[in-house]
């Protein structure tokens, strides 16, 4: 498991490097945005821990460039405690999680574990989420063994969610992802498709959760 830490505060960076190495991660560390951009262009990482306030190039710009090159590695951003706007902007740009400074190391480690687990899911043609199974080759979705009647766009959105279980996806990201597949959709249309998809999934205990201002994510309703 290889982690890239981007942090210009030497004391904090040192603490993070030591703690993650002790937990068995292989850790690279850079202290400015340009070095981070270069490392992400050439290296392969399983997780990026990215401070936003960085010399030479800000963390948000690093993130934007990385996702712009289709970098799919999970990114955990470190933000100032009052940096709500940065946080929202970071999630909009494709960060997977954030931690506000100051944080306790144990919390960072828990988030690192969660994000690296997600990153290592074995690729398979059938994606499963609770009672939901989706065959990405055949484009067939089944809920509790019953085939779901979904439109092409509902299937496309479902696939987007299934590729990011428990992770937030916002409408702009969905529009971008659908555009990459040659679809042209407005953010308003996304709302309509999500509404329909949600109604079809809920009877099977699979929920699409809305987090106001941040986006949507797929959540499995735990059986009582
Ligand atoms: Ca900083």
Measure 160 CA to ligand 1 centroid, in angstroms: 32
* 136 belongs to a structural domain: no
For residue range 84-130, list pLDDT tens digits in order.
888 888 988 999 988 888 888 888 998 998 888 865 544 457 788 88
* 185 belongs to a structural domain: yes
Measure 166 CA to ligand 1 centroid, in angstroms: 28
Measure 177 CA to ligand 1 centroid, in angstroms: 31
Measure 8 CA to ligand 1 centroid, in angstroms: 5
For residue range 146-187, list pLDDT tens digits in order.
889 998 889 888 988 988 877 889 888 888 887 766 667 888
Among 67, 101, 119, the domain-final residue is 119
* 89 belongs to a structural domain: yes
Total structural domains within the chain? 2
* 143 belongs to a structural domain: no
Among 119, 139, 158, the domain-final residue is 119
This prediction has a pTM of 0.55
**Contact partners, residue 220, CB within 8 Å, separation at least 6:** 129, 130, 205, 206, 207
**Range with the largest mean pLDDT of 80-89, 191-200, 209-218:** 191-200
Lowest mean pLDDT among 52-56, 113-117, 195-199: 113-117
Q: Is the Cβ–Cβ distance between 154 and 174 less than 8 Å? A: no
Structure tokens, 162: 């299934």
Q: Is the Cβ–Cβ distance between 200 and 208 less than 8 Å? A: no
* 144 belongs to a structural domain: no
* 92 belongs to a structural domain: yes
CATH of the domain at 190: 1.10.10.10
* Co-location of 115 and 203 in the same domain: no
Computed over every residue of the chain, the mean pLDDT equals 87
* Co-location of 6 and 115 in the same domain: yes
Q: What domain range is 64 assigned to? A: 2-119
* Co-location of 55 and 158 in the same domain: no
CA 46, distance to chain mean position in Å, is 12
Among 96, 119, 142, the domain-final residue is 119
d(CA 48, CA 120): 14
CATH of the domain at 57: 3.40.50.2300
11: phi > 0 → left, psi -120 to 50 → alpha, else beta; which? alpha
Contacts 24+ apart (CB under 8 A), 200-204: 200/143, 200/148, 200/149, 200/150, 200/154, 201/132, 201/143, 201/148, 201/158, 203/143, 204/130, 204/131, 204/132, 204/143, 204/144
């Amino acid at each position: 498991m290889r982690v890239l830490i981007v942090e210009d505060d030497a004391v904090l960076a040192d603490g993070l490097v030591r703690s993650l190495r002790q937990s068995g991660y292989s850790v690279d560390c850079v202290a400015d945005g340009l070095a981070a951009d270069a490392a992400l262009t050439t290296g392969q990482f399983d997780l990026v821990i990215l401070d936003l306030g960085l010399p030479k190039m800000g963390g948000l710009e690093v993130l934007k460039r990385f996702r712009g090159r289709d970098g799919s590695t999970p990114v955990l951003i470190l933000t100032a405690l009052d940096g709500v706007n940065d946080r929202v902007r970071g999630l909009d740009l494709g960060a997977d999680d954030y931690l506000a400074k100051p944080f306790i190391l144990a919390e960072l480690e828990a988030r690192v574990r969660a994000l690296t687990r997600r990153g290592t899911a074995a690729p398979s043609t059938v994606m499963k989420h609770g009672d939901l199974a989706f065959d990405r080759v055949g484009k067939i979705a089944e809920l509790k063994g019953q085939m779901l009647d979904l439109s092409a766009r509902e299937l496309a959105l479902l696939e987007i969610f299934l590729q990011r279980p428990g992770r937030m996806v916002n409408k702009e990201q969905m529009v971008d992802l659908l555009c990459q597949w040659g679809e042209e959709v407005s953010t308003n249309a996304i709302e309509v498709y999500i509404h329909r998809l949600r109604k079809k999934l809920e009877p099977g205990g699979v929920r699409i959760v809305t987090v106001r201002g941040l986006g949507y994510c797929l959540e499995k309703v735990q059986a009582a």
